[in-house]
């Protein structure tokens, strides 16, 4: 029954719907050659949900584009549904559904007009359309919005419409490139439900890529990618099991959690130490039971509890091993080498009360109140459009509030925004440094912009280069740095003038788990020096690293407190031990209903 | 190419030969986008109207009602009869000033463009051999206008001499008599040749600039990637862009012709179908350039810049729309040969003012057809169904 391709070699996996064999692909940018994929071989099996897991730059998008014939491989062969994706790309394209990362919805066309266009392009016979549309609209919950312009939909709704357009002619193989990026947890869960319904009811095969490791756990099979190479493939459980018996939660009462984490991370058998609420999660390099005295000498009352492993534990362990092989083991350096900058004086550093921000008749922020203490790491959690960035811009004095009171570092932003700004460091969501300046030149520019000169400027620059491990690349144009290094440079620039308060807007989006850990290690070191850090994120697990956090939706704060408090308040029969994501979804859904739940 | 698929698969086989359906879908989409995007409406209809109004009413290359200072040191019957010629002329707006110094000040302030100075001994020396000198000072900043004014002043002086001779009853002994007759634009109205040329500018805007922008927008917003993974062919994508903007350009053209003939009274001596046939060829060349620019740049900002530099500005300056190609340096004249607008402007001015002069229309139309084929062919080759 298979087409001509079935005559290929006998070793070919007969169940493979998509197959790559020894595929390499590189891109030439200017004078540099960037390898995107190196000798990748993999197979996606029929009727499964396969996850392509890896950080930005791992080669996920290149792999997807090769699979639908939008790119041609430099070496190797790509076969999709029995066709050569490069030479028979039209045949592949008329059978495969592909949703690119930024799906090309026509924003000035309505939902219905977008559907009609893709139905025309995919050659759906007019008679079959009404039924298919109805099914898709029911599946995506967009039935009420068919007349609305696509540009006026929320991020989650846009993704669902993109999916509906991709599915307008049921494809045999569905490729989804990071379908859940920037989508709120509720829409994320709905997207996953749709994907599983497609596999179960329509017998579709799905390959989807994601940078979220918690999503990988929902796949039937996963392919782990890093730096253009496949690290491994198999069911997620198989990867998770590699860490079984090595994962623990450590409680050390009366100790500051960041100090405990730093000590644990430096201990010999520890592969990974992560703050989780008020405890520290450990991954060890062997199955030997850890001894409290060996891990935290001199600390009383330490209890260690064994916990089930997660996929992320194994992934991070694999990455750390690779990195150690790559350039020799690097001792974890506690970033506390910076001189302590303890400043006296208690009381809140950031005070926000009843703050509103209106754009026309739309309230981006409606009456928000919270305080942040000195040396605290405070998180703002929420989906795109929840009002996080607007709140941030008001706090940095970049945007005046429509109503309410904002005090930062004891200064009212309404009257003395400039004075407050001198004590604030701000790192924006997008990489906002000068790409064609070198690392050193960026540091020099930002330090002079903050008014540093002479010896003090030189000292600060040297310290930044050393502290952020940027010295070896001081002369590299910052555009050529890997994403994780760019983030480090951006943070170094934001810290040039030793601010009391640091604002970080989605600092870790798209960065691989190791770089993210490295970044948080630096944030923790700053907090230990009594720098107040305010951070926005849409990674639920990063919320656990904060001292306190606020969950925002539609311009309002839904919950405020320590990670433990926020989670415990959402405890229910269904979720006796809620994760941050469970708590988030419960809060959003509770807001949707009128009844307030605990 | 179309093997039988698994029978167990619930998935519908892709229908083949759906090219017409795909093309219809693409064209319908493009029209929705045009209708909803105020900027394409502005470029297609508002801008032509504004340009036509500016060039039809505002810009004029003729020297008419030129303010001129008359300095008469010793008024007499002779000076009065001489200066009356300036009052009768539609080219001049004369003012009397007391002395030369005052007139020079007026010239510097740009209140007048020229000074005609009659000395105190004008009447006396008029009767003597050698005659009376008349001093004419012309503002020469704009050399063209300066020459025109000088010519007109000489015209007034010539007429006055003829009248003087007739009054005295003896025939003026001129060896040559100049009988000027102006062809094609007998009223010498610059609007008559500006408005036809403007049509080329307007169609360049719609064909090249607008098309370059909308195509680059597809790359920028990621809609192109989504289009490419459908079974659509690149020929369909290309035709799907060509048809709507061809119609839009033809609309802009019809609007310009209607405004030109009815509002500004520009004569249309050739036939309408020759005009539209030539316009279609030009439009295809312009669309080809626009598509090529956007295919290469894939970025709205760069595409806009390149389209303005490579199509709009040359069409404005080097097409013969305002500046005569024949009076350009040889190198620049050479450059004009690669501009589609040059051939179109030549056809437009001929068809409007002279009629269907085939010896002009055919070679230029052939050049346009060649350019259209070249640009469309190159963009078809460049537009591959690949992202690299």
- Residue B322 is part of which domain span? 33-58+188-382
Interface test with chain B among A28, A98, A121, A205, by most B beta carbons within 10 Å: A121
Q: How many CB atoms lie within 10 A of CB B280?
A: 18
On chain B, the residues whose CB falls within 8 A of the CB of A109 are: 29, 32-33, 36
Give a yes or no: residue B343 inside a domain.
Answer: yes
Residue A339 has pLDDT above 80, yes or no: no
Give a yes or no: residue A277 inside a domain.
Answer: yes
Contact A139, A130 (CB under 8 A): no
Q: What is the pLDDT of residues B313-363, one digit of tens each?
A: 998 888 888 888 888 889 989 989 999 999 999 999 899 988 898 999 999
On chain B, the residues whose CB falls within 8 A of the CB of A4 are: 3
Q: Which of residues A12 and A74 earns the better pLDDT score?
A: A74
Provide the domain count of chain A. Answer: 2
Q: Which of A13-22, A60-69, A173-182, B5-14 has the lowest mean pLDDT?
A: B5-14
Q: Are B103 and B48 contained in the same domain?
A: no
CB contact under 8 A, A100 and B28: no
Contact A55, A511 (CB under 8 A): yes
Give a yes or no: residue A296 inside a domain.
Answer: yes
CB contact under 8 A, A113 and B32: yes
Q: What is the average per-residue pLDDT within A293-322? A: 84
Q: Are B340 and B257 contained in the same domain?
A: yes
Residue A335 has pLDDT above 60, yes or no: no
Q: Which of A278, A283, A255 is nearest to A267 (CA)?
A: A283
Give a yes or no: residue B260 inside a domain.
Answer: yes
Residue A396 has pLDDT above 50, yes or no: yes
Inform me whether the C-beta atom of residue A96 falls under 8 Å from chain B C-beta atoms. yes
Contact A38, A116 (CB under 8 A): no
Q: Are B217 and B330 contained in the same domain?
A: yes
Residue A550 confidence (pLDDT): 93
Q: How many CB atoms lie within 10 A of CB A483?
A: 17
Residue B171 confidence (pLDDT): 59
N-term to C-term CA, chain B: 25
Q: Are B273 and B353 contained in the same domain?
A: yes
Residue A450 confidence (pLDDT): 84
Q: Are A140 and A287 contained in the same domain?
A: no
CB contact under 8 A, B36 and A120: no
Give a yes or no: residue A373 inside a domain.
Answer: no
Contact A246, A309 (CB under 8 A): yes
Residue A1 confidence (pLDDT): 40
Residue A549 confidence (pLDDT): 93
> How many residues would you count in chain B?
388
Q: What is the pLDDT of residues A516-555, one digit of tens each?
A: 888 888 888 888 888 999 998 877 788 888 999 999 888 8
Contact B126, B164 (CB under 8 A): no
Residue B33 has pLDDT above 50, yes or no: yes
Q: Which of residues A23 and A581 earns the better pLDDT score?
A: A23
Q: Are B43 and B97 contained in the same domain?
A: no
Q: Are B284 and B331 contained in the same domain?
A: yes
Q: Are A137 and A172 contained in the same domain?
A: yes
Give a yes or no: residue B272 inside a domain.
Answer: yes
Give a yes or no: residue A544 inside a domain.
Answer: no
Residue of B nearest to A84 (CA): B1
CB contact under 8 A, A90 and B226: no
Domain end point (choices A178, A211, A239): A239
Q: Are A272 and A232 contained in the same domain?
A: no
Q: Are A251 and A234 contained in the same domain?
A: no
What percentage of chain B reaches a pLDDT higher than 90? 26
Mind telling me how many Å the CA of A100 is from chain B's nearest CA?
A: 7
Q: Are A134 and A274 contained in the same domain?
A: no
Give a yes or no: residue B89 inside a domain.
Answer: yes
Q: Are B346 and B271 contained in the same domain?
A: yes
Inform me whether the C-beta atom of residue A596 falls under 8 Å from chain B C-beta atoms. no
Residue B28 confidence (pLDDT): 94
CB contact under 8 A, B33 and A128: no
Residue A111 confidence (pLDDT): 94
* Distance of alpha carbon A490 from alpha carbon A494, whole angstroms: 6
CB contact under 8 A, A108 and B37: yes
CB contact under 8 A, A100 and B225: yes
Q: What is the pLDDT of residues A44-66, one digit of tens each?
A: 999 999 999 887 778 898 999 99
Residue B60 confidence (pLDDT): 65
At residue B365 the predicted structure's pLDDT band, cuts being 50, 70 and 90, is very high
Q: What is the average per-residue pLDDT within A248-263? A: 85
Residue A435 confidence (pLDDT): 81
- Residue A117 is part of which domain span? 4-239
On chain B, the residues whose CB falls within 8 A of the CB of A65 are: 387
Q: How large is the greatest C-alpha to C-alpha distance in chain A, in angstroms? A: 78
Q: Are B105 and B164 contained in the same domain?
A: yes
Residue of A nearest to B32 (CA): A109
C-alpha B147: how far from chain center: 23
Give me the residue from B7, B10, B228 closest to A203, CB to CB. B10
Give me the residue from A88, A123, A162 closest to B18, CB to CB. A123
Give a yes or no: residue B388 inside a domain.
Answer: no
Q: What is the pLDDT of residues A281-297, one digit of tens each?
A: 888 888 878 888 778 88
CB contact under 8 A, A109 and B29: yes
Give a yes or no: residue A386 inside a domain.
Answer: no
CB contact under 8 A, B231 and A123: yes
Q: Are A158 and A21 contained in the same domain?
A: yes
Give me the residue from A96, A105, A108 closest to B33, CB to CB. A108
Domain end point (choices A327, A342, A376): A327
Residue B170 confidence (pLDDT): 64
Inform me whether the C-beta atom of residue A163 falls under 8 Å from chain B C-beta atoms. no
Q: What share of chain A is helix, strand, coil (3-state, %, to 5)?
A: 35, 25, 35
Give me the residue from A68, A104, A125 closest to B222, CB to CB. A104
Q: Are A172 and A59 contained in the same domain?
A: yes
Q: Are A181 and A162 contained in the same domain?
A: yes
Q: What is the pLDDT of residues B162-215, one digit of tens each?
A: 888 777 766 555 566 666 676 777 666 777 878 888 888 888 888 888 899 988
* Distance of alpha carbon A413 from alpha carbon A418, whole angstroms: 8
Residue B255 has pLDDT above 80, yes or no: yes
Residue B312 has pLDDT above 70, yes or no: yes
Q: How many CB atoms lie within 10 A of CB B85?
A: 18
Residue B14 has pLDDT above 60, yes or no: no
Residue A330 has pLDDT above 60, yes or no: no
Q: What is the average per-residue pLDDT within A205-224? A: 89
Domain end point (choices B168, B197, B218): B168
Domain end point (choices B110, B140, B168): B168
Residue A428 confidence (pLDDT): 81
Residue of A nearest to B232 (CA): A121
Q: Are A137 and A276 contained in the same domain?
A: no
Residue A473 has pLDDT above 70, yes or no: yes
Interstrand relation of A205-210 and A173-177 (parallel, antiparallel or unpaired): parallel
Which residues fall within 8 angstroms of residue A361, CB to CB, at 6 or more apart? Answer: none
Q: Are B256 and B299 contained in the same domain?
A: yes
Q: What is the pLDDT of residues A79-98, one digit of tens each?
A: 999 999 999 988 999 899 99
Q: Tell me which residues of chain B have a C-beta less than 8 Å from any C-beta of chain A.
A: 1-7, 9-12, 14-16, 18, 21-22, 24-26, 28-29, 32-33, 36-37, 218, 221-233, 385-388
Q: What is the pLDDT of residues B137-152, one digit of tens each?
A: 988 887 777 888 888 8
Give a yes or no: residue B73 inside a domain.
Answer: yes
Q: Are A92 and A156 contained in the same domain?
A: yes
CATH number at residue A124: 3.40.50.300
Give how far Cα A412 sits from Cα of A349, A531, A532, A555, B111, Å. Answer: 11, 19, 17, 22, 59
Inform me whether the C-beta atom of residue A546 falls under 8 Å from chain B C-beta atoms. no
CB contact under 8 A, B388 and A105: no
Q: Are B152 and B134 contained in the same domain?
A: yes
Residue B40 confidence (pLDDT): 83
Q: Are A186 and A308 contained in the same domain?
A: no
* Distance of alpha carbon A405 from alpha carbon A355, whole angstroms: 6
Interface test with chain B among A103, A122, A163, A170, by most B beta carbons within 10 Å: A122
Q: Are A193 and A278 contained in the same domain?
A: no
Give me the residue from B18, B37, B229 closest to A68, CB to CB. B229
Residue B15 confidence (pLDDT): 47
Give a yes or no: residue A98 inside a domain.
Answer: yes
Q: How large is the greatest C-alpha to C-alpha distance in chain B, in angstroms? A: 117
CATH number at residue B146: 3.40.1710.10
Contact B212, B293 (CB under 8 A): yes
Q: What is the pLDDT of residues A96-134, one digit of tens each?
A: 999 988 777 899 999 999 999 999 999 899 999 999 999
Interface test with chain B among A104, A127, A161, A174, by most B beta carbons within 10 Å: A104
Give a yes or no: residue A198 inside a domain.
Answer: yes
Provide the domain count of chain B. Answer: 2
Q: Are B293 and B226 contained in the same domain?
A: yes
Residue B151 confidence (pLDDT): 86
Phi–psi pair at A39, nearest 5 degrees: 45, 60
Interface test with chain B among A117, A124, A149, A176, by most B beta carbons within 10 Å: A117
Q: Are B160 and B202 contained in the same domain?
A: no
Give me the residue from A107, A122, A162 closest to B231, CB to CB. A122
Contact B368, B277 (CB under 8 A): no
Give me the residue from A90, A103, A121 closest to B25, CB to CB. A121
- Reduce the DSSP state of residue A446 to 3 states and report it: helix
N-term to C-term CA, chain A: 58
Interface test with chain A among B230, B237, B239, B383, by most A beta carbons within 10 Å: B230
Task: State if pTM tops 0.80.
Answer: no
Residue A394 has pLDDT above 60, yes or no: yes
Phi–psi pair at A223, nearest 5 degrees: -120, 115
């Amino acid at each position: 029954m298979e087409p001509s391709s079935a005559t290929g070699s006998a070793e070919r996996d007969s169940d493979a719907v998509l197959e790559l064999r020894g595929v390499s692909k590189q891109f030439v940018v200017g004078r540099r050659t960037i390898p995107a994929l190196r000798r990748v071989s993999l197979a996606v099996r029929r009727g499964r949900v396969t996850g392509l897991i890896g950080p930005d730059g791992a080669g996920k998008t290149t792999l997807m584009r090769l699979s639908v014939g939008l790119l041609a491989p430099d070496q190797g062969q790509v076969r999709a549904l029995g066709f050569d994706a490069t030479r028979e790309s039209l045949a592949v394209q008329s059978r495969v559904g592909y949703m690119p990362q930024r799906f090309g919805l026509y924003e000035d066309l309505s939902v219905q007009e977008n559907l009609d266009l893709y139905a025309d392009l995919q050659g759906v016979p007019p008679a079959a359309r009404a039924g298919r549309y109805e099914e898709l609209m029911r599946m995506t919950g967009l039935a009420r919005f068919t007349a609305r312009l696509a540009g006026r939909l929320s991020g989650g709704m846009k993704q669902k419409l993109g999916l509906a357009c991709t599915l307008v002619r049921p494809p045999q193989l569905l490729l989804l490139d990071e379908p859940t990026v920037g989508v709120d947890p509720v829409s994320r869960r709905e997207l996953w439900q749709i994907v599983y319904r497609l596999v179960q009811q329509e017998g579709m095969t799905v390959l989807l890529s994601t940078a979220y490791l918690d999503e990988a756990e929902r796949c039937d099979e996963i392919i782990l990618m890093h730096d253009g190479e496949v690290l491994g493939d198999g069911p997620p459980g198989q990867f998770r099991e590699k860490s079984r018996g090595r994962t623990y939660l450590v409680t050390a009462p009366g100790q500051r959690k960041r100090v405990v984490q730093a000590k644990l991370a430096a201990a010999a058998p520890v592969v990974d130490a992560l703050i989780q609420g008020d405890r520290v999660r450990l991954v060890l390099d062997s199955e030997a039971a850890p001894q409290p005295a060996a891990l935290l000498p001199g600390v009383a009352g330490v209890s260690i509890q064994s916990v089930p492993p997660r996929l992320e534990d194994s992934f991070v362990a694999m990455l750390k091993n690779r990195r150690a092989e790559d350039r020799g083991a690097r001792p974890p350096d506690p970033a506390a080498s910076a001189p302590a900058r303890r400043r006296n004086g208690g009381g809140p550093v950031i005070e926000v009360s009843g703050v509103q921000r209106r754009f026309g008749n739309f309230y981006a922020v409606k009456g928000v109140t919270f305080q942040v203490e000195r040396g605290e790491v405070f998180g703002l959690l929420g989906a795109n459009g929840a009002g996080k960035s607007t709140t941030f811009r008001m706090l940095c004095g970049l945007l005046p509030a429509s109503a309410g009171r904002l005090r930062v570092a004891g200064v009212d932003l309404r009257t003395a925004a400039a004075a407050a700004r001198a004590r604030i460091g701000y790192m924006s969501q997008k990489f906002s440094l000068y790409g064609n300046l070198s690392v050193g030149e960026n540091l020099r520019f930002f330090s002079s912009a903050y008014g540093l000169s002479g010896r003090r400027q030189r000292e600060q620059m040297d310290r930044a280069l050393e502290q952020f491990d940027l010295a070896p690349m001081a002369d590299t144009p910052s555009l050529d740095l890997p994403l994780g290094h760019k983030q480090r440079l951006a943070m170094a620039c934001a810290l040039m003038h030793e601010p009391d308060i640091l604002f970080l807007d989605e600092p870790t989006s798209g960065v691989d788990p190791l770089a993210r850990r490295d970044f948080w290690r630096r944030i923790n070191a700053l907090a230990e020096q009594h720098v107040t850090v305010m951070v926005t994120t849409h990674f639920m697990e990063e919320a656990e690293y904060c001292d306190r956090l606020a969950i925002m939706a539609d311009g309002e704060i839904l919950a405020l407190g320590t990670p433990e408090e926020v989670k415990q308040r959402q405890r229910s029969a269904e979720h006796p031990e809620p994760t941050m994501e469970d708590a988030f979804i419960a809060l959003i859904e509770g807001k949707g209903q009128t009844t307030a739940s605990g | 190419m179309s093997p039988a698929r698994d029978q167990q698969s619930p998935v519908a086989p892709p229908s083949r030969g759906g090219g017409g359906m795909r093309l219809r879908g693409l064209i319908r989409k493009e029209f929705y986008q045009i209708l909803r995007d105020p900027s394409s409406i502005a470029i297609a209809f508002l801008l032509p109207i504004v340009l036509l109004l500016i060039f039809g009413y505002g810009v004029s290359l003729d020297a008419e009602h030129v303010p001129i200072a008359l300095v008469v040191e010793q008024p007499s019957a002779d000076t009065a009869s001489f200066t009356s010629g300036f009052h009768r002329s539609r080219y001049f707006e004369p003012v009397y000033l007391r002395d030369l110094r005052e007139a020079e000040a007026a010239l510097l302030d740009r209140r007048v463009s020229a000074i005609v100075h009659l000395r105190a001994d004008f009447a006396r020396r008029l009767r003597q051999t050698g005659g009376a000198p008349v001093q004419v000072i012309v503002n020469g900043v704009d050399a063209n206008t300066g020459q025109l004014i000088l010519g007109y002043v000489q015209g007034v002086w010539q007429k006055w001499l003829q009248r003087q001779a007739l009054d005295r009853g003896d025939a003026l002994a001129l060896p040559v008599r100049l009988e000027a007759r102006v062809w094609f634009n007998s009223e010498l109205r610059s609007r008559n040749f500006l408005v036809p040329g403007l049509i080329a500018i307007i169609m360049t805007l719609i064909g090249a600039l607008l098309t370059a922008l909308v195509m680059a927008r597809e790359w920028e917003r990621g809609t192109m990637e989504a289009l490419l993974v459908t079974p659509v062919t690149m020929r369909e994508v290309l035709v799907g862009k060509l048809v709507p903007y061809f119609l839009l350009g033809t609309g802009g053209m019809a609007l310009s012709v209607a405004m030109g003939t009815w509002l500004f009274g520009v004569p249309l001596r050739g036939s309408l179908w020759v005009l539209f046939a030539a316009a279609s060829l030009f439009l295809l060349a312009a669309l080809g350039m626009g598509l090529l620019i956007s295919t290469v740049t894939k970025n709205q900002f760069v595409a806009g810049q390149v389209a303005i530099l490579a199509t709009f500005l040359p069409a404005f300056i080097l097409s013969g729309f305002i500046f005569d190609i024949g009076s350009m340096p040889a190198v620049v004249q050479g450059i004009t040969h690669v501009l589609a607008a040059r051939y179109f402007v030549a056809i437009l001015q001929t068809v409007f003012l002279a009629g269907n002069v085939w010896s002009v229309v055919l070679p230029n139309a052939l050049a346009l057809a060649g350019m259209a084929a070249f640009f469309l062919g190159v963009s078809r080759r460049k537009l591959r169904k690949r992202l690299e």
